[in-house]
Structure 1
Amino acid sequence: MKVEQNKKAIDETLEQICSHALFIHSNTHTRLLRYLVEKAILGEDLKEYTIGSDLFGIDYSIDKNNGTVRSYMYKLRKKVAAYYESAKPINDIVFHLEKGQYNLSFLSSKEYQSSINKEESYFKISKQTLLTATLSVAGSLLLFFIILHFSRKPNILWEPYFIKGANNLIVVSDQFTVTQKLEDGLRHAVLYGDINNNKDLLNYNQKHPDIHLKNTDYTIMSKMAPYGIKILTEWFISNQSSYNLQLESNLTYDDVRENNILFIGQYKTMNISNSLFLKNSKMFSTYRDGFKYANNNEEKIYNTRFKENGKLEYAMVSYKPIESGKMAFYFVSNNDIGVLATLRKFTDKDWLKGFEKQLPKNSKTFNALFEVSGLQRTDVSCELVELETFNN
């Protein structure tokens, strides 16, 4: 529409709109509309900054993100649109404020109607597209959370330890220490393989009254303890769970009744744990520095052996329910490398998936014997050699 030929008609339209009930009590929006019409007649290209500075005296050096103009323009568009819904255009001139723009344009009734039809058509398409997109995104999010849920869901063996509010106790084997009076008259700390508690010490002293052993106020642990706790700490944290810590020498039956138990260490230093470890087994028993396997008429001995390229040893992983409805996990070897190697296996999600497939569907309770070899603690071979399972 040619503005020069319709200046009078534009002024009449402006006054007609400003006298409408939508504008008569809104000085700010009336003032803004008059300003936009004036600038449109002059053909000036308006920006938010220009309107804010000229009309409202806004200093954008103080606040570059001042949203006053955006707010007023949004409300003005609503008022103008509401006006044309209730009143017919006069002089065949329509004031049009396009969304996202600051310039006002003059349209004929035909041009305005065409613009409205176009916007409505666009809205319908957008609404349908939005609905499709929303459903698509919702489906994708649902799939994502399902995958996330199952990827985070722990292996079934670990579920009792990782459910919310689970009471977990990691028990670390420790060696009972005693002191012996030597020739220099001083007492020195010593270790006896057959003295693991005060009762053992009393029996030993009765059999050897000339030695006079006394217990110390401390115990000792192998290198397995710090390395094993590090592995388990990372595993529990990654599964959003926690645990308490106890030494085998201080373990009580109340501890066993109240917690899921996870034992790491040597069976020769067990006290209370000795009454639970392999209690359910019909095939395995401890034997010297390893284990004995007996099934029907077959018997095998798995003891530590020394080879040209290193040491071959054995570790037992036992998983079983205990009397309180809790679960117990035992990672046992008389050599720390065996404990660490099996801990790494059972805290590896991919390896656990393969191991679980070896268990019968109705059985998650087992005793598993592993052969472990290697020259270094971080470079070891750990292979399953015998497996005993139980019906749940």
Structure 2
Amino acid sequence: MINAKLTTTQKQEIVTKIRESNTFKKASTSNALLQYLNEATLKGVNLKESVIDIEFFGSKEVSDKNNPRVRVNIYNLRKKIAQYYENEGKDDVWHLTIDKGQYEVRFFKKQLSKQLVKRIKWVHIIPYVALVITLFALIFTNTSPKTPTIWKSIINKEKPTNLFIGDHFGIAGNTITGGVGWTRDFNINSVNEFYELLEKKPQLKVSQKPANYTYTTRMAALATQQFERLFQHYNQDLPIRFSTLTSISEIKEGNAIYAGPIKNNNQFIHFFNEGNPYFEIKNNKLYFHNHTERKDTIFNLKTTEINEEYAIVSRYAGIENTEHFVFFSDHDIGVSATSELFTNLDSIEKFTNTHLKDKSHFTALFKVKGQNRTNTDIKLEMAVGF
């Protein structure tokens, strides 16, 4: 690879071609972010997380702290660029890249050494190339890892899968100590709910406003690590999104994994209730009913204990022929423990053989205990296939 000298117009043509590709057509954020980064690079902007957060995402607060929203979207953009060059752009001579740790767009040109090309006698080497390709195909066929039944159609190349992290909506303004800061109210989980509150309490308009960022707990990082590791094992991408910044249409784009709390009133609770014939989450309770062999039961999901809680894991049919795999709990230990359990190949096989048999969907309830937000014990309370 060598560095390329291109005109501003030529660079924009390369960016436009990528943005209009099938890889980028449905990735609206990555599409717009690529255009912004290219323009900023051409202008000589000193790109860093805080600058991108303010100029692209519209943040009104200047901060030098790490910004997970910027990092996640840059990470997804790099994956999309790599995906483009692996498929539609595999024959492109000019490439662009965003180096790790940097945010500027860099262009380069791939080319073979001319002397090497002249020395190659293709007629002589074609039979050997064909032989090598055949051997690699045989090796790959025999050694490619088999996807566990429980993850089939979630981990595949035919339909994309997104990981949705359960984050928390916040309010910026006066705090109970008289200062100014970020506040979490579990009764307010979206911008719409916030403005509904202002209609009831208009006096808050002068002191409160929607915060420019949300937050996640430790479970988000731990669960993401587990799922990313599993998908990498099968050479699959796993784009990451935040639940408060996600619309129904984005969830419908493909298969979905949700990992996070119940108390943020996320959209996957509705899909869980629609997709489960025997379970329903309502008012911080899990209702089990209408089963032909088991009695109706109600589980209280809300607890004041931080060292013990219920965790729900469910695989059910989503909308428009998609699949959902959700991991619910209110504190860190539940989601952390179950995401670890269902990404361990031995645990997956044992659970499948014991509880699923010929069923493709299920809901399982676990009681998880822990210390300092770290799980120390996990016990299966019930598992129902359907």
TM-score for both structures, normalised by structure 1: 0.56
1:369 is the counterpart of 2:361: no
Q: For residues 183-233 of structure 1, give each alpha carbon's deviation from its aligned partner in whole angstroms, at most 9, with x where no partner exists.
A: 887543211111011111122122223333310111111111111111111
Q: Which stretch of structure 1 is more off in the superposition, 217-226 or 285-294?
A: 285-294
Q: For residues 68-104 of structure 1, give each alpha carbon's deviation from its aligned partner in whole angstroms, at most 9, with x where no partner exists.
A: xxxxxxxxxxxxxxxxxxxxxxxxxxxxxxxxxxxxx
Q: For residues 230-277 of structure 1, give each alpha carbon's deviation from its aligned partner in whole angstroms, at most 9, with x where no partner exists.
A: 111111111211111111011122222222100000122244323212
1:188 is the counterpart of 2:184: no
Structure 2 residues not aligned, in runs of 5+: 1-137
Indicate if the aligned counterparts of 1:290 and 1:333 stay in contact, CA closer than 8 A. Answer: no
Aligned residue identity for 1:262? I
What is the match of residue 8 of structure 1?
Answer: none
CA distance in 2, matches of 1:155, 1:242: 17
Match of 2:220 among 207, 225, 232: 225
TM-score for both structures, normalised by structure 2: 0.57
CA distance in 2, matches of 1:323, 1:305: 31
Match of 2:165 among 172, 185, 188: 172
Aligned residue identity for 2:275? N
Structure 1 residues not aligned, in runs of 5+: 1-141
- How many residues align? The count is 244
Indicate if the aligned counterparts of 2:356 and 2:362 stay in contact, CA closer than 8 A. Answer: no
Aligned residue identity for 1:355? F
Aligned residue identity for 1:343? S
What is the match of residue 204 of structure 1?
Answer: 197
Aligned residue identity for 2:172? T
Aligned residue identity for 2:271? L
What is the match of residue 244 of structure 2?
Answer: 249
Larger Rg: 1
Match of 1:261 among 256, 262, 273: 256
Indicate if the aligned counterparts of 1:161 and 1:241 stay in contact, CA closer than 8 A. Answer: no
Identity among equivalent positions (%) equals 23
CA distance in 2, matches of 1:306, 1:148: 48
CA distance in 2, matches of 1:329, 1:145: 28
Secondary structure at 1:268 match in 2: coil
Indicate if the aligned counterparts of 1:278 and 1:367 stay in contact, CA closer than 8 A. Answer: no
Match of 2:211 among 192, 216, 229: 216
Please provide the CA RMSD for this pair.
2.7
Aligned residue identity for 2:197? Y
Aligned residue identity for 1:327? E
Pair 1:295–1:381, CA change in 2 (3 A) = farther
1:382 is the counterpart of 2:378: yes
The alpha carbon displacement at 1:148 in A equals 3.8
Q: For residues 33-91 of structure 1, give each alpha carbon's deviation from its aligned partner in whole angstroms, at most 9, with x where no partner exists.
A: xxxxxxxxxxxxxxxxxxxxxxxxxxxxxxxxxxxxxxxxxxxxxxxxxxxxxxxxxxx
CA distance in 2, matches of 1:336, 1:158: 23
Once the two structures are superposed, the pairs formed by residues 114-193 of structure 1 within 5 Å of their partners are 148-149=143-144, 152-181=145-174, 187-193=180-186
Indicate if the aligned counterparts of 2:333 and 2:375 stay in contact, CA closer than 8 A. Answer: no
